[in-house]
Amino acid sequence: MTPPEYGPPLSLSEAKRIVEAAEAHASQHGWAMVIAILDSTGHLVILHKMDHAQYGSIELAEAKARTATHFKRPTKLFEDTVAQGGLGLRLLSAREFCLFEGGIPLLRDGKLVGAIGVSGARSDQDGLVALAGANALQS
């Protein structure tokens, strides 16, 4: 699969809608999360820390979004590659790279306009919250 092209940066109103959807999903499950939204240039648009979210998740959420933006792929792909071992372990030598699920590129009209990064619970739960946010851009 060919990675998407970069498109124009998403707007603040789109980023707010994405955060609201992600927070609603997290709240439904009782997960305290940090949600980071970056635009297509890799710059922060919103950093949203829910009450009682762990402080370590602030940097992780942004790192997940940055990885998804810079590499045009969900961070789960990298997590799965490392988990398989073998040659995939080479990814561990990459710098400024997040290998945890929870970062998803945001697409509009097939172009990457930003990314969401979520941290605060298990990686798979972070991924579900990020997906809920990403789906809000499509609606």
Please tell me the pTM assigned to this model. 0.95
Does the residue 7 lie in any domain?
Answer: no
DSSP 86: G
- Please list the helix, strand and coil fractions of the chain in percent, rounded to the nearest 5, in that order: 50, 20, 30
The Cα–Cα gap between 131 and 41 comes to: 21
- For the segment 63-92, the average pLDDT, to the nearest whole number, is 93
Q: Pick from 120, 139, 108: which is nearest to 55 by CA? A: 120
Percent of the chain with pLDDT over 70: 99
Does the residue 83 lie in any domain?
Answer: yes
Burial (Cβ within 10 Å: 0-12, 13-18, ≥19) of residue 56: exposed
CATH of the domain at 76: 3.30.450.150
pLDDT tens-digit series, residues 117-137? 999 999 999 999 999 999 999
Q: Which domain holds residue 39?
A: 12-138
Does the residue 17 lie in any domain?
Answer: yes
